[in-house]
Structure 1
Amino acid sequence: MSIHAYLGMMAIEDEIREIEEEIKKTPYNKATQHHIGKLKAKLSRLRDEAVKRASKKSHHGGYSVKKTGDATVVLVGPPSVGKSTLLNQFTNAVSEVAPYDFTTLDVIPGAMEIYGAKIQLLDVPGLIEGASMGKGRGKEVISVVRSADMILLLTTVFEVERLYAIEEELYNAGIRLNLQPPDVRIVKRDRGGIRINRTPNVTLDDDVIKAVLEEYKIHNADIILREDVTIDRLIDAILSNRRYIPSLRIINKMDLISSDELLKLKKIPNSVLISAKTGAGLKELEERIFTGLGFMRIYMKPPGKKADMQNPLIVKAGATVADVAEKIHRDFKKNFRYAQVWGRSAKHEGQRIGLSHRLSDEDILRIVS
C-alpha cells in the first residue's frame, strides 16, 4: 500500500470519527433533523468509501466457499468464544480447537441436517474491531458473511457485550440483521426535481429527505415512501446495496455460571444459551435455526403409495403448490393437472387443490400431472 493511499485511508477514518462524535453530541429534534440527516448521509458515504479502499489494499485473495444444501449459516464472533467447538458438535467438520485467539485462520465448512433440511455451516476467523474497514482480514470474512442465509452471532457468558460490537461492525459493513428492506421506491429522472409521495404514517420532513438525497447527488427523482422510515433506513433505500439477513445471538459456556446469572442472560432478546462443550441448549438452537431460516417440510405422496415421511422436501414458508412442483422438476408444473393435500392447510383430508394453494409445515402433498 502506497504512502498516499495509507494517508487517504487515515483521513477518511478521522473524518468518520469526527462525524460520529458530532452526531452523538447533537440532540435529535425537529430543529436538528435536517443537519443530522446530512451528517448521517455523509457518514454512510464515507464508510462505504473506506470499505472499498480496504478491499483494494488487501493482498489476500479472499475466501472461496461454494454454497451447498438448502441454506448456508455462518458462525460469527470474536476470537476464542467456541465457534470451532460448536461446528464440531453440529457437523462432520474438524475445526481446530485451542485456548488462544485466531485458531481458525481459514473458513471451515461443515454439513448438518435439521428436520430434513441440509444446512452448510461455516466457521470463519474471529471478527475484531475495525473489521468492516478491513482490519484482521475483516473484509474477507465479511464477504463470506454477506452471502449467508443466516448468521449465528456467538460469544460467551463472560463477554456478552462483545456481541454488540460485532453487530456494529456488521452494520457498518452494510449487513442488516433481522430487518426487512425499507418500503421505499426511488425512480431517478432527468429533470423535474424531487417529487415525494408518502403514506400518512410517514413523519420524516420533506427538507430532510431532499437533503439526504442531495448528499448522494440525486436532484431529480420520484420517491415513494410507504413506511415511516428513519434517516438511516432512507439512506439504506438510496444505496440499495444492503444485505438483510436473519440472525441469532448464541451465548456459549452456560455451564460455567450460576442459575441466577443464567436467568439474567435469558432476558437478552433473540438469544439462545448453550454449552458447545456439553451439548446443552443445542436442540433448542437447531429448532431456532430451522424456523429462523423460514423453512417448512412437505412430505410427498406418490400416486398409489404412502407418503414418504422420512425425506421431506424443504421449501420456504408460504410456498405454494407451484413452488413445490417447480422445485421437483419444471415439467411437474408444466404438465400439472391437480394436487391433493393433507394437513394444516387443507380444509378436509385429501382436499383437491390447484397451483396457487399455499401450503403449511408438514403438509402431505400429492401432485397429479
Structure 2
Amino acid sequence: MDVAEEIRRLEEEIRRTPYNKATEHHIGRLKAKLARLREEAEKQRRKKSGEAYAIKKEGDATVVLVGYPSVGKSTLLNALTGAKSEVADYAFTTLKPTPGMLEYKGAKIQIIDVPGVIEGASQGRGRGREILSAIRVADLIVIVADVFNVHTIDLVKKELYNAGFRLNEKKPEVYIKKTVTGGINVKTTVKLSLSEETIKSILREYKIHSGEVLIREDVTIDRLIDAILGNRVYVPAITVVNKIDLYPEAEIPKDAIPISAEKRINLDKLVEEIYRKLEFIRVYLKPPGGKVEEEPMILRRGAKVEDVCKRLHRDMVENFKYAKVWGKSVKFDGQRVGLDHVLEDGDIVTIYAK
C-alpha cells in the first residue's frame, strides 16, 4: 500500500469511528499517523515539483485574497488599490499572483490577488499546492466568495486547513523539550480532557519517547498534533461576500462582510476591518539629541526594538548598543532597553549604535 492509499484508508477509518472516551486513544493515534503521512507526502512532492509561485512582500503588511475562480478577487484588488489585474467573466483569469498597494491611516498594505483555489487544491488540483504554499507569507487572508456561491467559503476554509493554515487561532500552548532518557513527563496547568495515555501515544507516533511536555490549555488531539509538527501557519482572516448588488436578498453568513467591489459598496468597512485585523502600531523615532519625527514607523503588534533596527538599516542590529523608550511599554520614560523589548502603540524610540 503506497502513502496515498494509506492516507485514504486512515481518513475513512477516522470518519467511521465515533469519538468518545473509549475511542479517544485510538483516534489520537490514527490522526497522528495521518498527519505524519501527509507531511511525508508533501516533502516528497516538494522534491519533485518544478515551478512554484512566489510572493515578494512589500509595505507594512501583506494581505492575500483567496477564493474560488470568478468570485471577483481581481475586481476587488483593483477597487482597493488601483491595480490593473485582468478581469473577465471566465474562470482562471488570474494565472499568477498580482500585487497592489493600499495606503490607509499611514500604513502601506500590500494586497495580493492569487489564482483561484478550488476543492482539492490542498491535494494538488489546479496547481493548488503551489498557490497555498505561496500564500504562507500572508499577514492576513481575505476569503472571497460571491452571493451565488456562498458555499465556497467553507470549501476554501477546508483547503486552507488541510494545507496547514489555522485561521483566527493562536498557537497551542504546548511546549515540548526532548530529552535523551527518562520517558515522557507530562505537566499541565489546566484540567485536560485528553488522557495522559493518549497524549503519550501521539508523541510516540512522532518518535518522541523521552521529553518534558508542558500543556497550558485544554488541548485537543488536532491542536496537540499541530504543536508537535510546529509548521502550522496561524494567521488572521476576514470573509467577504462579493456582488451583493446583483442579489441583495442573498443570505450572508453573520461573520462575513457583504460588499460589491464593482459598485464600491461597503469597501470602506472592509478596509477598516483589514486595518483592525492587522493590529498596526505607530512608533515614533527620535534621533539621539534630536526631535521626535512627525511621521511614525508602522509596525505590527508584538514588534520589538529589533524590528525597528531592521527597518532602519540592515547593519543596525549588528551595531546596536541600546535603545531608550518613552511610552506605554516602559516603566518610566527614557528607560534603557534591549533588542527584545516589545513596543506599544505611540512609543517613542531612540536607537544608540556603535
Q: TM class, shorter-chain normalised? A: 0.7 to 0.9
State how far apart, in whole Å, the 1-side matches of 2:204 and 2:284 are.
53
Output aligned runs, 1:29-40, within 5 Å: 29-40=20-31
Letter in 2 for 1:80: S
Partner SS state of residue 109, structure 1 = strand
User: Does the C-alpha gap of structure 1 residues 355 and 115 become closer, same or farther in structure 2, counting only changes over 3 Å?
Assistant: farther
| Residue 313 (str. 1) matches residue 293 (str. 2) | no
Q: Which residue is equivalent to 2:225?
A: 235
C-alpha spacing 1:189/1:346, structure 2 compared with 1 (3 Å): closer
Please state how far the C-alpha of 1:333 moved relative to its aligned partner.
6.9
Structure 1 position 159 matched with structure 2 position 149: yes
Q: CA–CA distance in 2 between the matches of 1:304 and 1:55?
A: 51
Matched-pair identity in %: 50
The answer to whether residue 257 in structure 2 is matched with residue 272 in structure 1 is: yes
Aligned partner of residue 63 in structure 2, secondary structure: strand
Quote how far apart the aligned CAs of 1:313 are: 1.6
Contact residue 190 and residue 217 of structure 2 kept, 8 A: no
The alignment partner of 2:187 has SS state of: strand
User: Is 1:292 the counterpart of 2:277 in the alignment?
Assistant: yes
Q: Secondary structure at the match of 1:254?
A: coil
1:3 corresponds in structure 2 to: none
Considering only aligned residues, what root-mean-square deviation do their CA atoms show, in Å? 2.9
Q: What is the alpha-carbon distance in structure 2 between the residues aligned to residue 306 and residue 187 of structure 1?
A: 44
> What SS class does the counterpart of residue 161 from structure 2 fall into?
helix
Aligned length: 344
* TM-score, reference length from structure 1: 0.83
Q: Which of 29, 43, 52 pairs up with 2:43?
A: 52
Flag structure 1 segments of 5+ consecutive residues without an equivalent. 1-7
CA offsets per residue over residues 272-316 of structure 1, 9 Å max, x none? 2211111111111111111211212245578886862xx332022
Q: Is the 8 A contact 2:172 2:227 kept in 1?
A: yes
* Secondary structure, aligned partner of 1:111: strand
1:109 to 1:322, Cα distance in 2 relative to 1, 3 A: closer
Match for 2:110: what amino acid? Answer: Q
Q: What secondary structure sits across from 1:256 in the alignment?
A: coil
TM superposition shift of 1:102: 0.5
Q: In the alignment, is the contact (CA less than 8 A) between 1:326 and 1:333 conserved in 2?
A: no
Question: In 2 relative to 1, CA 115–23 (structure 1 residues): closer, same or farther, beyond 3 Å?
Answer: same
Q: Structure 1 CA distance, aligned partners of 2:253 and 2:54?
A: 36
Which of 271, 274, 281 is the matching residue for 2:266?
281
Q: Would the alpha carbon gap of residues 13 and 159 (structure 1) be closer, same or farther in structure 2, given more than 3 Å must change?
A: farther
Does residue 211 of structure 1 match 2:201? yes
Structure 1 residues 319-334: aligned runs within 5 Å: 327-328=311-312, 330=316, 334=321
**Counterparts of 1:181 and 1:134, CA distance in 2:** 26
Q: Per the alignment, do residues 326 and 94 of structure 1 end up closer, same or farther by CA in structure 2, a change over 3 Å counting?
A: closer
Aligned residue number for residue 124 of structure 1: 114
Q: d(CA) in 2 for partners of 1:111 and 1:18? A: 45
Q: 1:204 to 1:307 in 2, by over 3 A?
A: same
Work out whether residues 186 and 224 of structure 1, in 8 Å CA contact, stay in contact via their aligned partners in 2: yes
Q: Note closer, same or farther for the CA distance 1:190–1:321 as it changes in structure 2 (3 Å cut).
A: closer
Deviates further, 68-77 or 225-234: 68-77
Q: Distance in 1 between matches of 2:30 and 2:351?
A: 59
CA deviation vs aligned residue, 1:205-239 (integer Å, no higher than 9, x gap):
01111221222222222211111100000101111
Q: Is the 8 A contact 1:301 1:364 kept in 2?
A: no
Report SS of the residue matched to 1:255: coil
Of stretches 190-199 and 272-281 in structure 1, the one that deviates more from structure 2 is 190-199
- Alpha-carbon spacing, 1:172–1:320, altered in 2? closer, same or farther (3 Å): closer
Q: Deviations over 1:337-358 (max 9, x none)?
A: x5555xxx499xxx94425697
* Contact 2:77/2:113, CA 8 A, preserved across alignment: yes
Equivalent position amino acid for 1:354 in 2? Q
- Report the TM-score when normalising by structure 2: 0.86
Residue-by-residue CA offset, 1:252-281 (whole Å, 9 max, x unaligned): 1122223x54xx5251x3x22211111111
